[in-house]
Structure 1
Amino acid sequence: MMQRIFILLVLLVLTSSKEKSEETYVKKTSKPLNVLMITVDDLRPELNFYGANHIKSPNLDKLAQQSLVFNRAYCNIPVCGASRASLLTGTRPTRYRFINAFTKKDEDHPTAISLPMLLKQNGYRTISNGKIYHHKTDDAEAWDEIWQADKLWNYALLKSQEIRRNTQRGLPIEAAEVHDSIYRDGKLALKVVNDLQKLKSSSQPFFLTMGVTKPHLPFCAPKKYWDLYDRSKIELPESYQQPKTTPKKAFHNYGELRKYEGIPKKGDLPEDLAKELIHGYYASVSYVDAQIGLVLDELKRLKLEENTIVILWGDHGWNLGDHKLWCKHVTFETALRTPLMIKVPGRTKGQTTDAITEYIDVYPTLSELTGIEIPKTVEGKSFVPVINGNESKKDWAVSKFKDAVTLITGDLFYTEWTDNEGVAYERMLFDHAKDPLELDNLAEKEEYQQTIAMLAKELREKWGKNFLKENKN
């Protein structure tokens, strides 16, 4: 009897030791998740998985089928430099921080631990490829490597290059019979593919980025992508109007576009030119879709996708004639709403969510997914619960541009233009349940004044505790 008990005790100890050994082995050999972050400049959520059916983007469509797609993601400021610095620090723009395209994280928020710096501090190899921050050398200490292709606004044709040299911006479009790799984003794709091949054999986790520059102006793409579209079937947007009820401050002269050759210096664009620009935008999206496809295919071929988070976002929306506007720089939904999707191994498979999400929420989400503590400076809220299939407790976002500050809550888009003291001097309110194109400003209607008062209070509660403070940190 005693011998039998002894044998059982020995077996129990051995089994327990084996389980502990296996547990330790799993902990030691399980690698942290890699992160591949793809950023696309000026990309509207005008894609098939958002309900459109005219832009050909098969690789983005495929990625969406493997991801969680956010139907209501919003940038915190509709201009590239500021939007990127805000997202990569997880902090809100204020009246004095993250203002315009030329924003530098190092100047506006030097004490914030950026997302790439956080990952680098926690053992990740960090590589900045293409346009991640607006300035190549911004937050340079956060990266193990920074790479960009030759010229930011390169043209393929000699005649286009000559026009560019002799004018402010050059032509707004180009369709050339050239290989994809001649243009900047084609070179970028090859660099990222090469990085993946090198990183495959590394035991170090990676934060690898792909900063795509198109469909930013000028709309340059190989001719085969232009040939995907019939311009005679392209229509101007339904919202091609500027209602009198909308404050004039809500509109602008789209100076970014007017710097290009052949664009009138004032007034509406001729209809043929407007459709040519829309055509160029579509072609540029199809071109960058192909480049993103090369990278995603290589990720799969190398069997890295099984342990890699893929997140794709556009830095802000873009107007393609909406409200007779072009470019960004406004607080209409067309400039604020953005494409956002995240693919997490084993957890996403083509789900969609209507949860309102701000770009400052990206940082804490990736921190949580990689198991790294979120720094105290981060103001966003992780959307990991949404990835896990739970409902979001957050149903609002705040965006701003210059004096205009917008609260997005439920179906309501409420904008105030405020002075340095936070006092409103102009208002705009749209109810997307009734007016998705934002053509009927409700802010001056008597029956909405109680709603306006409520929204004004909520806006100030949510625009950030340092919104009016000149101290950048």
Structure 2
Amino acid sequence: MKDRKKPRTWTDSLDKGSKRKKMDMRFGTWNVKSMYKQALCAPSRNSFLTSRRPDTLHLYDFYSYWREVAGNFTTLPQYFKENGYHTKAIGKIFHPGISSNWSDDQPYSWSEAPYHPPTQHYKEASVCPQADGTFGRNLVCPVEVRFQPGHSLPDLQSLDEATKFLQAQSSATLSPFFLAVGFHKPHVPLKYPVKYRELHPLESIHLPSAHWRPSALPTVAWNPWTDLREREDVAALNVSFPFGPMPDDYARLVIQSYYAAVSYIDDLVGQLLSELRAVGLFNSTIVLLIGDHGWSMAEHGEWSKYSNFEVSVRVPFILHVPGLTDSIRFQRKEYLSSSALVELVDIFPTLVELTGLPVVPPLCPVNSSLVQLCTEGISIGPVVEDAVFRKVQGTEARNRHLEQKWKTGVFSQYPRPGLFPTLKPNSDKPRLKQIKVMGYSLRTSRHRYTEWVLFDRKNFKPDWKYVISRELYDHQVDPEENMNIADRSVMSETVRALSMQLRAGWRYSLPKDMLRRNYSSKYYNDGMLLQGG
């Protein structure tokens, strides 16, 4: 991470491969608008790793294992392992604990024991320096690494382990590999080497234009950021529950630390990709960088995740495919991108297609509890190919023909224990037995539409007859989702149409002519590196 003058340029490594301004296309990456299923770690990760949606997995919290409560579903790394790949997990891939059977889904998914950095043991330790010279269990936590327990941090140790693995592959005649590296940050607490804070001077940090609770936001939709309130520095602010705003001065400190934590991880990603090049594997390895959920930074007065807002459900989806996204014909041009709608359940069939493995059965049946291998997503190969073709042809115009044939909507959801935010039960993280309401959200190319309905937690089904609240945001005029216009009479026809699409479900928003697509891979790779956040 170089010293620079630009105040908001804080992802050099990702910028080189995917993002804004004039980037170095030697990484040959492709960027797309991607959504995940539920803004919580375990449900999100288990969803994209099995290519099944939360209502199929019956997992909306941290406290059940899908193989025991839903079905013995094959995972993404398991499928590669069964097809001759050496699979290795480093850091946070599956959510640890009950939701992955206390074993990161071993022995099914991985060829060797998953690696967890030893210093992760100190995640909740009181190591954050405070103004009075003591140490606390804070949200904002810039640290001197040499003074930390173990003289390191978890993500630094994960990088070391990944580097060792790649170095071993360079001289070995091993099988192809599937390496999943899960960096923890910028997860709470925002603990990172203090040097990265210097990249983000406090005077350059600004709050969102609307950093208060929207007047038309239903109470059931509100996320009271209970996880932040548990941190000692935030608790000391005595912010009223559930709607009290965080003081502006401290909000800027939190945003500053979030940016610094992102810069920290960006630096590690850059080092990992550099190592992949150094061992001579970059040009034969598919690389995918994703996150498991977004994070609110004062938008709508909210923080953290736990909602259906765009800022919580939209994630990075950055893909490098040797021989495709790094074509010599556009190496010196900007990154590839697409406005097509993509979901993280699409990862499984996409990587299978790109590597030429036997095709995953294209669509799970409605009741797939006894079907070990199938997908509730589709390969995004056609979208990538279209982006490459447009770049080679020198056209920046959107391919509306493809978009018309592609998904017409993508879906997310979030559970609540009641209609009003509460601490007990925790309305941000209700357990299955506490869920009474589910917010189902549909994102189209223009709108986000959400219905909060009663939920039958025994049968895992919504009761569409009892709609508690609706939300509608028009991204053409309100990309930050500040104005809920669901109750405006002029929008009644739009609400009716979107409600029909939402209730019809995700299957009816898929591209009809691609469901019978005969996947045949044109690409070859020696390895695969899945970079998760």
TM-score above 0.5, yes or no: yes
Q: For 1:339-369, what per-residue CA distance to the aligned partner results, in whole angstroms no more than 9, with x for missing partners?
A: 1111000111420111110111111100111
Task: State the partner residue of 1:211.
Answer: 182
The answer to whether the aligner puts 1:117 opposite 2:78 as a matched pair is yes
Task: State the partner residue of 1:139.
Answer: 105
Q: Which shows bigger deviation, 442-451 or 407-416? A: 442-451
Q: Equivalent residue of 1:117, what SS?
A: helix
Task: State the partner residue of 2:46.
Answer: 85
Q: Which shows bigger deviation, 151-160 or 358-367? A: 151-160
Task: State the partner residue of 1:4.
Answer: none
The answer to whether the aligner puts 1:56 opposite 2:13 as a matched pair is no
Distance, in Å, in 2 between the alignment partners of 1:72 and 1:397 is 11
Alignment equivalent of 2:193, drawn from 222, 227, 237: 222
The answer to whether the aligner puts 1:412 opposite 2:447 as a matched pair is yes
Q: Is the 8 A contact 1:106 1:139 kept in 2?
A: no
Distance, in Å, in 2 between the alignment partners of 1:67 and 1:108 is 41
Q: Is the 8 A contact 2:120 2:153 kept in 1?
A: no
The size of the alignment, in residue pairs, is: 410
Q: Is the 8 A contact 1:103 1:134 kept in 2?
A: no
Structure 1 residue 203 displacement after superposition: 3.1
Q: For 1:44-72, what per-residue CA distance to the aligned partner results, in whole angstroms no more than 9, with x for missing partners?
A: xxxxxxxx971511111123243443342
Q: Equivalent residue of 2:215, what SS?
A: coil
Amino acid at match of 2:145: V
Task: State the partner residue of 1:383.
Answer: 380
The answer to whether the aligner puts 1:171 opposite 2:148 as a matched pair is no
Distance, in Å, in 1 between the alignment partners of 2:440 and 2:479 is 19
Structure 1 residue 94 displacement after superposition: 1.4
Amino acid at match of 1:177: E
Structure 1 residue 87 displacement after superposition: 0.3
Q: Which shows bigger deviation, 210-219 or 142-151? A: 142-151
Runs of 4+ in 1 over 4 A off after TM superposition: 155-159
Structure 1 residues 190 and 234: alpha-carbon distance in aligned structure 2, compared to 1, 3 A threshold: same
Structure 1 residue 387 displacement after superposition: 1.4
Structure whose alpha-carbon radius of gyration is higher: 1
Distance, in Å, in 2 between the alignment partners of 1:170 and 1:412 is 40
Task: State the partner residue of 1:301.
Answer: 278
Distance, in Å, in 2 between the alignment partners of 1:221 and 1:306 is 31
Matches within 5 A, 1:450-461: 450-461=493-504
Q: Is the 8 A contact 1:105 1:139 kept in 2?
A: no
Structure 1 residues 56 and 348: alpha-carbon distance in aligned structure 2, compared to 1, 3 A threshold: same
Task: State the partner residue of 1:394.
Answer: 407
Structure 1 residue 95 displacement after superposition: 8.1
Amino acid at match of 1:175: P
Q: TM-score, normalized by length of structure 1?
A: 0.81
Q: Is the 8 A contact 2:128 2:143 kept in 1?
A: no
Alignment equivalent of 1:434, drawn from 465, 471, 477: 477
Alignment equivalent of 1:182, drawn from 143, 147, 152: 152
Distance, in Å, in 1 between the alignment partners of 2:75 and 2:57 is 19
Q: Is the 8 A contact 1:105 1:138 kept in 2?
A: no
Distance, in Å, in 2 between the alignment partners of 1:416 and 1:155 is 36
Q: Is the 8 A contact 1:406 1:413 kept in 2?
A: yes
Q: Equivalent residue of 2:55, what SS?
A: coil
Distance, in Å, in 2 between the alignment partners of 1:352 and 1:159 is 41
Q: Equivalent residue of 2:155, what SS?
A: helix
Distance, in Å, in 2 between the alignment partners of 1:323 and 1:339 is 21
Task: State the partner residue of 1:46.
Answer: none
Gaps of 5+ in 2: 1-5, 19-24, 97-101, 327-334, 365-373, 388-401, 416-437, 456-462, 509-533
Matches within 5 A, 1:16-35: none
Structure 1 residues 225 and 108: alpha-carbon distance in aligned structure 2, compared to 1, 3 A threshold: farther
The answer to whether the aligner puts 1:364 opposite 2:349 as a matched pair is yes
Matches within 5 A, 1:32-47: none
Q: Equivalent residue of 1:360, what SS?
A: helix
Q: Is the 8 A contact 2:126 2:138 kept in 1?
A: no
Distance, in Å, in 2 between the alignment partners of 1:104 and 1:286 is 34
Q: Equivalent residue of 2:464, what SS?
A: coil
The answer to whether the aligner puts 1:336 opposite 2:304 as a matched pair is no
Q: Which shows bigger deviation, 77-86 or 247-256? A: 247-256
Q: For 1:402-439, what per-residue CA distance to the aligned partner results, in whole angstroms no more than 9, with x for missing partners?
A: 11110111211000011132332210000000111111
Distance, in Å, in 1 between the alignment partners of 2:413 and 2:198 is 38
Q: For 1:205-251, what per-residue CA distance to the aligned partner results, in whole angstroms no more than 9, with x for missing partners?
A: 00001101000111111111011111022111112122212212221
Q: TM-score, normalized by length of structure 2?
A: 0.73
Alignment equivalent of 1:148, drawn from 97, 116, 140: 116
Task: State the partner residue of 2:211.
Answer: 240
Structure 1 residue 395 displacement after superposition: 3.1
The answer to whether the aligner puts 1:259 opposite 2:230 as a matched pair is yes
Q: Equivalent residue of 2:37, what SS?
A: coil
Q: For 1:71-124, what per-residue CA distance to the aligned partner results, in whole angstroms no more than 9, with x for missing partners?
A: 421111111110000001111111872312455343444421110110000000
Amino acid at match of 2:375: V
Task: State the partner residue of 1:94.
Answer: 55
Amino acid at match of 2:109: A
Task: State the partner residue of 2:166.
Answer: 196
Amino acid at match of 1:310: V
Distance, in Å, in 1 between the alignment partners of 2:187 and 2:53 is 24
Amino acid at match of 1:408: R
Structure 1 residues 173 and 268: alpha-carbon distance in aligned structure 2, compared to 1, 3 A threshold: same
Distance, in Å, in 2 between the alignment partners of 1:159 and 1:457 is 51
Distance, in Å, in 2 between the alignment partners of 1:255 and 1:149 is 27
Amino acid at match of 2:356: G
Distance, in Å, in 1 between the alignment partners of 2:482 and 2:199 is 32
Structure 1 residue 450 displacement after superposition: 1.6
Structure 1 residue 139 displacement after superposition: 1.7
Q: Is the 8 A contact 1:83 1:98 kept in 2?
A: no
Q: Is the 8 A contact 1:75 1:83 kept in 2?
A: yes
Distance, in Å, in 2 between the alignment partners of 1:122 and 1:96 is 24
Task: State the partner residue of 1:374.
Answer: 360
Identity of aligned residues (%): 31
Amino acid at match of 1:271: D
